[in-house]
Structure 1
Amino acid sequence: MRNGFVAAAVIVAVNTLAPFSSPARAVPSPAEVEKQLDQAWEKLEPVIEQYNKVHSELLANQKKSKQLGERLRPVQLRVEMSLGQIGDIAARQYRIPRASAANAVLSSTSPQMMTDRLALLNYVARSDAAKVADVVKLRDDLAAQRAQVEALVAKQKRLDAELAKRRKTIQAEVDRLERLRAQATGGSSSGGSLRIGACPAVSIGGAAGTAVRTACAQIGKPYVWGADGPSSFDCSGLTQYAWKAAGVSLTHFTGAQWREGTPVDRADLRPGDLVFFYSDLHHVGMYVGNGLIVHASRAGVPVKMARMDSMPYMGARRP
């Protein structure tokens, strides 16, 4: 997501929150505070999920860069050995130092120059020259890929750090609402009943059964931004954690999880399916049967069960 769009989203979120903390307004009732928190969170959660997106991409790119580096090392060794061999042959033929002969290849500044110099040596080392050209090409291709990934990682790190700063700003606003709620409720917890039925409501076996039982076991654990367990979660972190227990890898980002699963009609939902809410798909929960879900809803509310129709439903995916 472009930096300007993220900044705009944060501004909207902060503006949404600001009126609720006006000192000129009387302290609202607990129900009003909960409504205000829900409205504010609809603005804040998309920003949090964009943070998750950037962070997940950063981790993936760092892993890819490391893998490319590991592939590059043996190729570089093969290049050095091959150049050493052809250097020995050329040195014997031309009676010049071995290092100078090898340098004739290494110092090539363009594919055409390399081709020309390899052709010069080809009659004394035809097979070796072809081998060196292939290895050098492979090395250069891998090095180019690695450079691209490292540039992307550097960009992601900058954006990740920028989002982290904005995240602090958002947290400050949420903390202010939490203090307002504490004043209105005397410090009692929010979110209503955490269990509104059996979890899972319908038994199921296999990987989906493992995932849904894992999700149900997290009920009562706190919501923390960017968390993916085992002691705290955000919405996509909970679904990622639950399916990981079943051996299925999901990205810690709602948009990616939407793409990683198979579409499921609402009438065909079964426990373990991922259900998505709001038009921008910024919230996800796990279906547990009988129209119920388990989800990590927002700050100040533990992981809990909810009715699926309590939020605007957009669709479902089966990992």
Structure 2
Amino acid sequence: MSGVLAAGVLATALYGSGPASADPVALPTTATEAVQRMVDLSRQTEQLNQQALAVQADLDAKLVVQQEADAKLAATTEVADAARAEVRKFQPVIDRTAIAAYQGARTNRMYAVLVSDSPQKLLDQMSTLDVLSAQTTDQLRQFKKATDAAESAESAARAAADAARGAAQKADQTRADLERKRSELGGAVAQVVEAWGALSSKDKSALAGSPFPPGFDRDTLLQGLVPGSGTSALAAGLTRVGDPYVWGATGPNQFDCSGLVQWAFKQVGKNVPRTSSAQASYGTPVAKGDLQPGDVVFFYSDISHVGIYAGNGLMLHASTFGVPVAVAPMGSTPYHSARRY
């Protein structure tokens, strides 16, 4: 397929066969422009991919909160049920006492004096009244304690129920957002794959490039390797050079940019976050002038691309669709920051 024909096919793949009045500047007119347009579209898709991964991570966190809220609700409900049962245990005694008082029952010492016809009977009545009074007072005290406990437990259960509902609503909202992002990503991926398919073999080969830049010396770079260090993670990552870029992939044979970084550090025992934005908060900051092989480098203002520094201004990264994992210059990508893990 000639370069001009490839550009025309790619333009159709990217934009469809629009009306004749469509802006001609928006359409690639050469194979080079067609490749660049495919790269630009792939770049946008990578941004969507990282956004979708971030929303997935947010959803996972919210689901944990929801599970914890549900567990707390179940626990507080159980406590409230037990507290209500304790109140019911004392309720008959309290009811009888209340009814007796309402009906005018005489239970005080003055009444015993008035109705007693002998000193012994008076002592017996007063002793009985003391026992009854003590029992009633104790039961009233226990009833009050049980009632207070029940009110506190029910208040906690209501608060837990509100928290559980709120957590569920937030999770549902995030889940809906994730579905939208996945839908957008799916559409964008389809466009990139279609656009890539419209390129000539020559253009695909040029896009893929070389896995290593001229003069790259892996052995010298990895001298003095320290187990568990960033350099050892770089060494692990270099074993994946040539593996394909796939959105959302974390290895072991295909990767997206943040998936490659996560995989490489996992091989040396470090649990790095999944997304490029989260990875940019892991470890410690490193100035660009102090970069060492194995440091993690981030790109673009939204931190939507990441790689592992490989010395001499180079990085190991999973670049974009159609470009296998490779070592490449950092200069062509807008630098953001770096971290040392």
Q: TM-score, normalised on structure 2?
A: 0.70
User: Which residue of 2 is the match for residue 160 of structure 1?
Assistant: 178
1:91 match = 92
Distance in 1 between the 2:267 and 2:140 partners?
Answer: 58
Larger Rg: 2
Q: Deviations over 1:7-62 (max 9, x none)?
A: xxxxxxxx99836999x989844x55543333333333222222222122112212
Deviations 1:64-111 (A, max 9, x none): 212332343333222222221222122342269xxxxxxxxxxxxxxx
Which range moved further: 276-285 or 211-220? 211-220
**CA spacing shift, 1:187–1:289, aligned 2, 3 Å:** closer
How much has 1:306 moved relative to structure 2? 1.3
- Which of 213, 217, 231 pairs up with 2:235? 213
Task: Count the aligned residue pairs.
Answer: 279
Residue 129 of structure 1 deviates from its aligned partner by 3.2
| Distance in 1 between residues matched to 2:92 and 2:316, nearest whole Å | 73
| Change beyond 3 A, Cα 1:290–1:67 | farther
Does the CA contact (< 8 Å) of 1:224 and 1:232 recur in 2? yes
CA distance in 2, matches of 1:277, 1:235: 11
Structure 2 CA distance for partners of 1:276 and 1:60, relative to 1, 3 Å: same
1:176 — aligned with what? 194
Alpha carbons 1:33, 1:180 under 8 Å: kept: no
Distance in 1, matches of 2:12 and 2:283, equals 33
The correspondence of residues 90-109 of structure 1 with structure 2, limited to 5 A, is 90-94=91-95
- Identity among equivalent positions (%) equals 28
2:35 is equivalent to residue 18 of structure 1: no
In the TM superposition, residue 193 of structure 1 has moved relative to its aligned partner by 1.8
Q: One-letter code of the match for 2:190?
A: A
Structure 1 counterpart of 2:253: 231
Partner of 1:278: 300
Q: Distance in 1 between matches of 2:255 and 2:333?
A: 19
Structure 1 position 297 matched with structure 2 position 293: no
- Kept in 2, the 8 Å contact 1:65–1:149? The answer is yes
Give the secondary structure class of the aligned counterpart of 2:336: strand
CA distance in 1, matches of 2:319, 2:275: 15
Please give the secondary structure, in 2, of the residue aligned with 1:305: strand
Q: Decide whether the 8 Å contact of 2:196 with 2:204 is kept in 1.
A: no
In structure 2, relative to structure 1, the CA distance for the partners of 1:40 and 1:266 (3 Å cut) is same
CA contact (8 A) 2:245 2:322 kept: yes
Q: Which amino acid aligns with 2:322?
A: G
**1-structure distance, mates of 2:43, 2:17:** 18
Separation (CA, whole Å) in 2 of partners of 1:310 and 1:211: 24
- Give the 3 Å change call, closer, same or farther, for CA 235–26 of structure 1 in structure 2: closer
Corresponding position: 1:35 with 2:36: yes
Unaligned runs of 5+ in 2: 1-10, 19-23, 98-138
Deviates more, 1:55-64 or 1:39-48: 39-48
Deviation at residue 187 of structure 1 after TM alignment: 6.6
Task: State the Cα distance separating 1:148 from its structure 2 match.
Answer: 1.7
Q: Deviations over 1:129-185 (max 9, x none)?
A: 34334433333333322222211111111111112222222122102221122x352
Counterparts of 2:93 and 2:260, CA distance in 1: 67
Residue 280 of structure 2 corresponds to residue 258 of structure 1: yes
Question: Are 1:193 and 2:210 an aligned pair?
Answer: yes
SS in 1 for 2:337: strand
Which is worse superposed, 127-136 or 225-234?
127-136
